[in-house]
Structure formats: C-alpha cells, structure tokens
Homo-oligomer: A and B are copies of this chain.
Amino acid sequence: MDSQNVKDTVRQIFTEYLNAHGHRKTPERYAILDTIYSIDGHFDIDTLYSLMADHENFRVSRATLYNTIILLINARLVIKHQFGNSSQYEKSYNRGTHHHMICTQCGKVTEFQNEDLQQAIEQTKLPRFSLSHYSLYIYGMCSKCDRANRKKVKNNIQKKEK
C-alpha cells in the first residue's frame, strides 16, 4: 500500500470513528492525522507542533494536538509510548510490529523486528484479559555507552589499586 493510499484509508477510518462518537470533523483534526501519517518513527507533541507549523503551514495549538491525539489513540490510528520524559507517539495503521531497545544511559531508542518474539507474545494466553496491543521495551546499554562505561569502571579500579 503506498503512502497516499494509507492516508486515504486512515482518513476514512477516522471519519467513521468521529461519526460513531458524535464528534465534529474539523480541518484541524484531519490536518493532524495527515501530518502524523507523514512521519516515520516516533514523535512527541512538540515535534508534531513544529512540523505542522513549518511544513503543513497549518498552525494548531498544543491543546488541540493533545485533544486530537487522544481521539486518534481511541480510533486505534496512533499508539502512545512513554520512554524518556515526554510521551512519544507513532502511527499504528499498516505499520509492522516492532519492539524497542532503550539505552538507559543516553536514552537512544532503537526499533527492531523479530517474528518469533512477536508470535510468542501474541499467542500467550492471558488470564481474564483481551489483548488489544502491546509494547515491549528492552532496557540496557547501547554499544557506544557500554564501551564508555567499561573504560570508566576500569579506571576506577586501577585508581583504587594504586
């Protein structure tokens, strides 16, 4: 499915959602949806705000962004993550399942895919719970920070032995 096709489809899904819930179909809402579906990977409210002002030439307030994102989450068109300080979001329609590695030192987030892992999670029997979606966050140290840390520890041990 190409990018324009996806945008059309999600716009339609959103329209149905808005109708079903008695919400108004404002230009702001569609502009936000469009912008989000132009972004690859994660974004936060601030990034979205800048993107809309700069590229879409459609200024919306942060309050509206927060309001609209909640609708989009409920319509299952956006998912919310919470690593680092600010909430991160990403489009969810037509996007391959992926997991996240988060470096506890530098905060860098890397995505990776793994079919076996995905299957294992999705096939798990859950006690009295119906799964809608999930997030797997793997914390640890990226190779860069790991190297820096080893060096530091080594130095401290040497210092002590003097």
Contacts and interface: CB of A to CB of B under 8 A. Distances in A.
Contacts of A131: 138-140
Given A21-B153, A74-B104, A156-B22, A134 B143 contact: no
Contacts of A114: 124
B138 A137 contact: no
Given A82-B83, A153-B21, A156-B22, A135 B124 contact: no
A47 interface: no
A135 B139 contact: yes
A46 B134 CA distance: 27
Interface in A124-162: 124, 126-143, 146, 152-153, 156-157, 159-160
A121 interface: yes
Given A152-B21, A156-B20, A138 B126 contact: yes
Contacts of A127: 112
Given A134-B136, A134-B137, 5 more contacts: A22-B159, A112-B127, A120-B120, A126-B138, A131-B140
